[in-house]
A and B are shown apart, each in its own frame.
Chain A
Amino acid sequence: MTEPSSGVVAEVFQNEYLPDGATLVDAVVTVTAGGGAGGVGAGGAGPARAGAPAAEVIMVDCSGSMSGERIVQARKAAAVAVDTLRDGVAFAVVAGSDWAQMVYPEQQVLAVAGDATRSAAKQAIRHLKAGGGTQIGAWLTLARELFLADRAEIRHAILLTDGRNGESARTFQAALDQCAGLFVCDSRGVGQNWSAAELIKVAEALLGTADGMKDPAGLEADFRSMIEAAMGKTVAGIALRLWTPAGARVRFVKQVHPEILDLTGRRTDVSARVGDYPTGAWGAESRDYHVSVQLDPGTVGAIGEEKLAARVSVVRSDEVLAKGLVRAVWTDEIARSSKLNRRVAHYTGAAELASAIQEGLAAREAGDTVTATARLGRAVQLATESGRSDTVQLLARVVEVQDAHTGTVQLKRRSENKDVDIDAEIAALGSRKTTRMRPS
């Protein structure tokens, strides 16, 4: 349901019928913001938001491994990104290595996009050189400082890396925690050495997309589309607010479309039964969230009784833009309670595939062959069932598929060929992107 003139609609998809005594309630909530002009808030009483002040920081990996074709393509991509910025957007370009260095402007501030600053920025980008290591947390920390010194509402960053982060997990996590909520960051891996797990960490902390590619030639188009998407955002600080009944436990809240982002750990308590989950900045777009609630077994309804499992609302500060109800109705009719909601089932399968690949690759990295084989086997099986043959092909680079339908696989020996590994990383990122079911 939508609130009058907010331009945002929340729709709930679920099978509300539960068998006697059941306590688990799952629902997919589709949130759609303004298909028309302006997007979120455009229809509201406030001023038009199409020109909400925006800021952009472009972080380009300039570590030693970037030398050659990669730095050439990275320069091109950064230049295209700068060209795509709307006039008036505050921006900076940062070179990342063992530390973060301002490329443009020279001082540690944001410049205002215009013909002169864009051309000066591109000039500076031409001089980007590769050398040194990869300390991603340090780059993000500089971006944070730049954003904090500026008053833009829509804050977006692009992070490009070709390698694994050289910082300790703790340092990296501390940097991410500091940045969370301040800006949205899309991260990209290029070449053969980046880690999907690290990019996913950035995506989950900073609510952005994560993608990776072997060939740097694709960077230019990718950077353009990232900036275009960022320029389309009209409002930041949108949260999914969840009310759950006394004694209930929120099992998880995940964005499941367009990409899987687990928001469960990002909850901020509003009151005892209400919590907010950040969703970042919005333009005219539609996203799906999977909400799973475990009700208190002591308060299960009688047959025929109906209870609310969650009130889901879309809020900006405390303004409610849209809301929907997740319900539970207990029934003794098995035909009703056994029915799976198609959307819930679809995204449950997609999320299981994504986590099977991520867990399998993590186990493989750690040398845990048994877990790696089991999880990657399951991933092959799930990808086969859901018709994702591209994922199966990528996984087949790291496992020998003996029977795709049963998920029987054998882990391949690790070779010196990095190309094999990066295919698995691409599969890990690719499996996070979901398709929507056609409405039925």
Chain B
Amino acid sequence: MTVACPACAVSTVDGDRFCESCGTDLSAPTGPSFPPRPPAGAGEPAGAAVWRSSRAADGPCAACGGPAGADGYCDGCGLRRDAGLEHAEDDLPGVTAVTDRGLRKGRNEDAYAIGVTGGRRAVVVCDGVSSAPDSDTAATTAAVAAIEVLTGGGDVAAAYRAASAAVAVLAGSGAPFDAPACTFLAAVVEDGQITVGWVGDSRAYWLDGDGAHCLTVDDSLAGQLAAAGIDAGALRLSAQAAALTRWLGADAPAGDPHLTTLRPTTAGVLLLSSDGLTRYPAWTGAVGGDGGSDGGGGVAQLARRLTAFARDAGGADNITVAAVAFDPGPPASDPSRGAP
């Protein structure tokens, strides 16, 4: 059975979650109250902005079919509607992201968003702070707010500001000290340059034949010490040393994101990950000797392989892995697909 995409009228295959042509979310209910996401740049399919995220679809309650209340709980059975999906995978040309609840956490409080527009590839990974309430909402809200800016042509700092503002307003006026919170990590790959911005402890790595090079410094005492070349392990720091010193939320310290740029001269993979993967140092062994850029099936396989590794290693936390293929040459007019 085929149905027409509600946005661009191209026929779609039953079971598709998104329109192949314009990227409209097909699972979203249509109608006056839920207008389909307007496809950015509609009318010029070749360079149209397309993005995907781990945000859960709107619509009736998964348990009882009831409508959702404004507070995120079902009006029928009271089931909490998680902001993000328990497991999600998305592939865009040269970009793949995977998120998974893991084995121990009750819900997935990580979120990703990936987007492609023109020659630009953008990735956002956010990790909900588990000690704060509704962290899944914070992470999903931040990721979506950021990717909308990045696929609209904005830079990483602008994406951070949009995400930060969107998360800050989630807090109820009753308890600002107990506000939804998350980390922020975003990267833009464009014109042979990689720009990474972050706040918190989600990390970006550059993977090439030489191994994994961390591009970010965690916003924690332990992270700062490690960046300064001090062996934090030998100091026998308390668990408090890993506590975040910066985050997004109504109660977050003010400031700009950390930014770093690089212009690799070789092909490789930009990897973004929540600490659900990097808490297992052996993860680098699962990358593959070639940086995972080929042979292992490209970035699509790499992201899935690393997610599976983190689950097998114990799955103690939510896992999110996003991988972007990098080629130092000028961006190809038809970028090769990550998945064969």
Contacts and interface: CB of A to CB of B under 8 A. Distances in A.
A4 interface: yes
Interface string B54-83: 000000000110100101011111111000
Contacts of B74: 245, 307-308
A11 B178 CA distance: 13
Contacts of A309: 78
B79 A307 contact: yes
A329 interface: yes
Contact of A299 (B69, B77, B105): B77
A248 B76 CA distance: 11
Contacts of B78: 244-245, 248, 307-309, 328
Interface residues of B, number: 20
A346 interface: no
Given A4-B173, A245-B78, A304 B71 contact: no
A329 B106 contact: yes
A304 B77 contact: no
Given A299-B63, A311-B71, A246 B173 contact: no
Interface string A305-335: 1111101000000000010010111010000
A245 B174 contact: no
Contact of A304 (B64, B69, B73, B107): B107
A309 B76 CA distance: 11
A273 B66 CA distance: 13
Nearest to B64: A246
Interface string A227-250: 000000000000000011111100
A161 interface: no
A305 B108 CA distance: 11
B173 A1 contact: yes
Given A1-B175, A9-B174, A299-B63, A306 B77 contact: no
A273 to B, nearest CB: 8
Contacts of A308: 71, 73-74, 78-80
B172 interface: yes
A191 interface: no
Interface in B77-108: 77-80, 105-107
A325 B73 CA distance: 10
24 contacts: A1-B173, A2-B172, A2-B173, A2-B174, A11-B174, A245-B76, A246-B77, A247-B77, A248-B78, A299-B63, A305-B80, A306-B79, A306-B80, A306-B106, A307-B73, A307-B79, A308-B73, A308-B78, A308-B80, A311-B73, A325-B71, A325-B73, A328-B78, A329-B106
Interface string A36-52: 00000000000000000
A131 interface: no
A258 interface: no
Given A307-B77, A322-B174, A329-B106, 5 more contacts: A1-B175, A243-B75, A305-B79, A307-B80, A311-B71
Nearest to B76: A246
Among A4, A10, A245, A311, residue most surrounded by chain B Cβ atoms (within 10 Å): A245
Given A2-B173, A11-B174, A325-B71, A304 B106 contact: yes
B77 A245 contact: yes
Interface in A258-306: 273, 299, 301, 303-306
Contacts of A327: 80
A54 to B, nearest CB: 30
A190 B29 CA distance: 67
Interface string A108-148: 00000000000000000000000000000000000000000
Interface string A1-14: 11010000111000
B161 to A, nearest CB: 24
A34 to B, nearest CB: 14
A327 B78 CA distance: 9
Contacts, number: 62
A10 B105 CA distance: 29
B244 to A, nearest CB: 23
Interface of B: 63-64, 66, 69, 71, 73-80, 105-107, 172-175
B109 to A, nearest CB: 12
A247 B63 CA distance: 14
B134 to A, nearest CB: 10
A248 B75 CA distance: 13
Nearest to A9: B174
B79 A301 contact: yes
A87 B105 CA distance: 62
Interface in A82-116: none
Contacts of B173: 1-2, 4
A308 to B, nearest CB: 4
A329 B107 CA distance: 11
Nearest to B73: A308
A331 to B, nearest CB: 8
B106 A1 contact: no
Which 7 pairs of residues, A with B, have the shortest CB-CB distance? A304-B106, A1-B174, A245-B78, A308-B78, A306-B80, A308-B73, A1-B172
A301 B76 CA distance: 14
A306 B64 CA distance: 14
B100 to A, nearest CB: 14
B164 to A, nearest CB: 22
B277 to A, nearest CB: 21
Nearest to A247: B77
Nearest to A325: B71
A247 to B, nearest CB: 8
Nearest to A330: B106
Contacts of B76: 245-246
B307 to A, nearest CB: 19
B24 to A, nearest CB: 30
A328 B75 CA distance: 15
Nearest to A245: B78
Contacts of B71: 308, 311, 325
Contacts of A9: 174
Among B77, B107, B172, residue most surrounded by chain A Cβ atoms (within 10 Å): B77
Contacts of B66: 246
A297 to B, nearest CB: 13
Contacts of A245: 74, 76-78
B138 to A, nearest CB: 16
A331 B105 CA distance: 11
Contacts of A273: 75
